[in-house]
């Protein structure tokens, strides 16, 4: 998609400002390029995933919606038309990049007024695409680390700093993934490019450093929201625990049993062994009686233990009451029963 947008902007610039002695090129069909090089392969990949049956249906449905939103016009928030309008913002020429009658004014931006402004807008467009790709890769790595039960860190790990040599080697050997550090690296690369472009004076006033950094924040927020729609919470699984309780008791004059037990009663002058299978009435003796239980009654109870809903999204674990699901609406947000 980014490649098609770049070709469209460069083509529109050559049509408006043809080289000396050359014929203006034919207009570039950006819609056809986007459908053949981006949308068609995307739809094919989703159809293959649907056929394999390994993805949650809601994730595939959200992926289809996100793909359609990217190709939508300027009236749809998050579309590439809206983003290109913010990148190719130099309206000095007054010529839209997409002059189609169906296109809204400024949809896809304007043809830059100078070649330097064109190079700046092209560079920002590429840098935003790389930023979105980098943030998405961080989310994929986080999901894989959670799935593999690898340790996570909310801050970069100081590997070997201030430790003894043996402990330092051990710390370096621990594979700890930090999503925050991963995203900071992607954002730092974007900011480095933005500062380099503005320092060279290549960009129009509408694309100064402040505006480029604002575009970065918007791209990161969009990537976070999209990941939350693709990494959906799995269905909670109930676990059943069987608890066996064994109790031993010595009963005095009155003995009651609800299942077969063997009771040996010793008392002068005789010793008898009685097998009791039913509840018998209380027995009263004027002589001290000693009852010894040779087989303790065993009570087996089966209970269902619900593990509490916990964990960071998308790795929600545990159970919820009937009718609720263990999930969260934010990536790495605390999972709760909803």
Task: Report residue 299's pLDDT band, with 50, 70 and 90 as the boundaries.
Answer: very low
> Would you say residue 111 has pLDDT above 70?
yes
> Would you state the pLDDT for residue 298?
43
> Would you say residue 243 has pLDDT above 60?
no
> Would you state the pLDDT for residue 121?
96
> Would you state the pLDDT for residue 101?
54
Q: Which two tokens stand for residue 207?
A: 């694309």
Helix then strand count (H, E) for the chain reads 9, 7
> Would you say residue 178 has pLDDT above 90?
no
> Would you state the pLDDT for residue 257?
40
More confident residue, 98 or 214: 214
More confident residue, 318 or 82: 82
Mark 136-169 as b/e (b = at least 16 C-beta within 10 Å): bebbeebbebbeeeeebeeeebeeeeeeeeeeee
The 3-state DSSP class for residue 280 equals: coil
Percent of the chain with pLDDT over 90: 32
> Would you state the pLDDT for residue 65?
87
> Would you say residue 293 has pLDDT above 50?
no
Alpha helices in 175-240 (DSSP H): 179-199, 209-230
> Would you say residue 176 has pLDDT above 80?
no
């Amino acid at each position: 998609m980014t490649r098609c947008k770049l070709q469209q902007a460069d083509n529109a610039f050559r049509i408006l400002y043809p080289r000396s002695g050359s014929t203006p090129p034919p207009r570039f069909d950006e819609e056809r390029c986007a459908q053949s090089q981006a949308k068609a392969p995307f739809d094919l990949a989703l159809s293959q995933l649907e056929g394999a049956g390994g993805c949650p249906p809601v994730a595939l449905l959200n992926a289809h919606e996100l793909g359609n939103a990217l190709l939508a016009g300027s009236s749809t928030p998050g579309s590439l038309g809206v983003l290109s309008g913010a990148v190719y913002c130099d309206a000095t020429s007054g010529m839209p990049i997409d002059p189609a009658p169906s296109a809204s004014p400024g949809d896809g931006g304007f043809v830059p007024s100078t070649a330097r402004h064109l190079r700046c807008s092209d560079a920002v467009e590429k840098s935003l695409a790389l930023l979105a790709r980098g943030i998405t890769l961080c989310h994929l790595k986080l999901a894989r680390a959670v799935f593999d039960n690898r340790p996570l860190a909310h801050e970069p790990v100081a590997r070997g700093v201030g430790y003894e040599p043996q402990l330092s080697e051990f710390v370096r050997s621990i594979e700890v993934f930090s999503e925050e550090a991963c995203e900071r690296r992607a954002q730092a690369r974007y900011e480095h490019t933005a500062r380099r472009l503005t320092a060279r004076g290549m960009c129009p006033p509408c694309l100064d450093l402040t505006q480029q950094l604002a575009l970065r924040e918007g791209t990161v927020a969009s990537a976070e929201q999209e990941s939350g729609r693709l990494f959906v919470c799995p269905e909670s699984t109930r676990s059943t625990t069987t608890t066996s309780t064994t109790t031993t008791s010595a009963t005095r004059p009155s003995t009651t049993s609800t299942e077969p037990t063997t009771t040996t009663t010793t008392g002068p002058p005789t010793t008898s062994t009685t097998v009791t299978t039913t509840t018998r009435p209380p027995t009263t003796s004027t002589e001290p009686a000693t009852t010894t239980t040779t087989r303790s009654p065993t009570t087996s109870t089966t209970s269902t233990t619900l593990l509490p809903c916990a964990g960071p999204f998308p790795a929600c674990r545990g159970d919820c009451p009937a009718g609720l699901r263990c999930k969260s609406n934010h990536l790495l947000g605390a999972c709760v029963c909803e």
